Structure 1
Amino acid sequence: MRQFTAVVNPTAGDSAGAAALLQVARLLREAGAGLDTEYSHSLAHARELARRAAEQGRVVLAVGGDGMAGGIGGALSGTDAVLGLIPAGRGNDFARALQLPTDAAGLARVLLDGEPRRVDTIEVESAVHPRTVVLGSVYAGVDALANRHANRARVLRGAASYYAGGLRAVAGWRPASYRVTVDGREHPHRGYTVVAANSAYYGSGRIVAPSARVDDGLLDVVMIREAPRRLFFTLMNELKTGAHVERPEVVVLQGREIRIEADRPVPYGADGEVDATLPVTVRVRPRDLSILF
């Protein structure tokens, strides 16, 4: 029977992490599994707790949102440790990409009986972050600014906070001139954003990269070009279905190493947590992490 250590972000979704864990914990213990719980006071502390539990041969459960999943997943990358997710954040986009059950009973069955599967991760390198490993995506431009606004929201929650953050970010955004280098080939780009995606989803369920797969050894690079602001709002709505990739204003490439630069200080983010400024280099790390899903 598996032995688990749950690492909880107590601020995720206004303490939704602890509530989500309670439901699953009861089912795990009733099945005879062992479960310890650790509460982190920072993402760095969560990584430390995860490494310590993994060294003891325990399955590590990341309880929180995409930042928690990415932070702990990054800490365990390149090892034989096994990660499980208990989604309890604003977006839960990587859990969505893995098609994890949203009910406690279904999630408990995955954690108890599922076979670990290897997935890719993303290595992020910049002057501020010499080496960070995340799971879902790295995005540079108006969406990073929107994510910053969403994280600071006090009234709206979930998808609503991301949508409101997006409206606020777009209202004051002027297109940037990017230089995007994919596997050594340069692609000049002027527009709103560049996304290097391991997962199809970001921004609380928006399908930014419909063809992205977490285990194909590639990153999908989505670039949204300069367009009239009204059209960009239409593109934002089309992110709900992934239909935006059919528009001529959207370019989709694939690669293993992507360098993103810009003509001015442009913010970038990763899994909702890294908040820095271009330039940045991202690399796919194939089959780098074992996850239960």
Structure 2
Amino acid sequence: MREFTAVVNPTAGGAAGAAALLVVARLLREAGAGLRTEYSRSLTHAGELAREAGGQGHVVLAVGGDGIAGAVGGALSGTGATLGLVPAGRGNDFARALDLPTDPADLARILLHGEPSPVDTIEVESAVHDRTVVLGSVYAGVDALANRHANRSRLLRGAASYYAGGLRAVTTWRPARYRVTVDGVEHEHLGYTVVAANSGYYGSGRVIAPAARVDDGLLEIVMIREAPRRLFFTLMNELGTGAHVDRPEVGILRGREVRISADREVPYGADGEVDAVLPVTARVLPGALRVLR
């Protein structure tokens, strides 16, 4: 029977995470599994707890949203340890990409009996941040600004906070001139954003990269070009289904490594948590993480 360590970040939606864990924890223990819970002080500390538990042979449960999933999964990337997710955050986009069930009993069955399968992770490097590893995507532009607004929202949660953040960001955004280098080939891009996606989802269920797969060894690079603001709001709505990729204002590239820079200070984010400015390099680490799914 498996031994689990659950990592919960009480400073980032931890109350919801703890509540979600209670039901799953009961089911795991009733089945005879061992479970201990660790409360982290920060996402960095969450990664340290994850590496320690993984080194002891435990399945490490990331309890919360994409931020803690990325911190725990990134820490376990390349170690051979196994990650399980208990989705309880604002976005849960990586759990959505894995098609994990929302029903606690179904999720507990996967955690108890599912076979670990390899998925890709993303190594992120920039001049102002230490190397880090994330799971879902790296995005540079108006969406990073929108995510910053959403994270700071005290009144709204979930998709509503992202939509409100997006409206606020678009009204002040002016197109940036990007240089996007994919596997050594440079591309000029004038527009709103560049997204290097491992998962097809970001921003609380928006389908930014419908063709992205977490286990194909490639990043899907989505570029939204300059367009009238009215059309950009239409594109935002089409992110709900992924229909935006058929528009001429959207370009898509695929590759293993992408470097993104711009002609001015442009923010970038990763898995909803990294808040920095370009340039940034993202490269796929194929099959680097074992996940229960």
- Please say whether Structure 1 and Structure 2 have the same fold, judged by a TM-score greater than 0.5: yes
Tell me the SS of whatever aligns to 1:216. Answer: coil
**Structure 1 contact 181–260 (Cα < 8 Å) conserved:** yes
Tell me the SS of whatever aligns to 2:275. Answer: strand
**Structure 1 partner of 2:90:** 90
Shifted more, 36-45 versus 5-14: the winner is 5-14
Mind listing any 5+ residue stretches in structure 2 that lack a counterpart? Answer: none
Superposed CA deviations along residues 65-109 of structure 1, whole A, max 9, x for unmatched, are 101000111101111100000011110000000000011111101
Q: Does 1:166 align with 2:166?
A: yes
Structure 1 residue 14 displacement after superposition: 6.0
Q: Does 1:188 align with 2:188?
A: yes
Q: Does 1:110 align with 2:110?
A: yes
Alignment of 1:39-118 (within 5 A): 39-118=39-118
**Structure 2 partner of 1:277:** 277
Question: Separation in 2 of the partners of 1:103 and 1:163?
Answer: 26
**Structure 1 partner of 2:129:** 129
**Structure 1 contact 12–90 (Cα < 8 Å) conserved:** no
**Residue type of the alignment partner of 1:169:** A
Structure 1 residue 130 displacement after superposition: 3.1
**Structure 1 partner of 2:237:** 237
Structure 1 residue 9 displacement after superposition: 1.4
Mind listing any 5+ residue stretches in structure 1 that lack a counterpart? Answer: none
Superposed CA deviations along residues 95-145 of structure 1, whole A, max 9, x for unmatched, are 000000011111101100100000000000001123110000000000000
**Structure 2 contact 11–42 (Cα < 8 Å) conserved:** no
How many residues align? The count is: 293
Tell me the SS of whatever aligns to 2:70. Answer: helix
Runs of 4+ in 1 over 3 A off after TM superposition: 11-14
TM-score, normalised to structure 1, is 0.99
Question: Separation in 1 of the partners of 2:240 and 2:14?
Answer: 25
| Cα 1:40/1:14, change in 2 over 3 Å | closer
**Structure 1 contact 12–88 (Cα < 8 Å) conserved:** no
Question: Separation in 2 of the partners of 1:14 and 1:109?
Answer: 23
**Residue type of the alignment partner of 2:154:** R
Alignment of 1:133-212 (within 5 A): 133-212=133-212
Q: Percent of pairs identical after alignment? A: 81
Question: Separation in 2 of the partners of 1:62 and 1:288?
Answer: 17
**Residue type of the alignment partner of 1:39:** Y
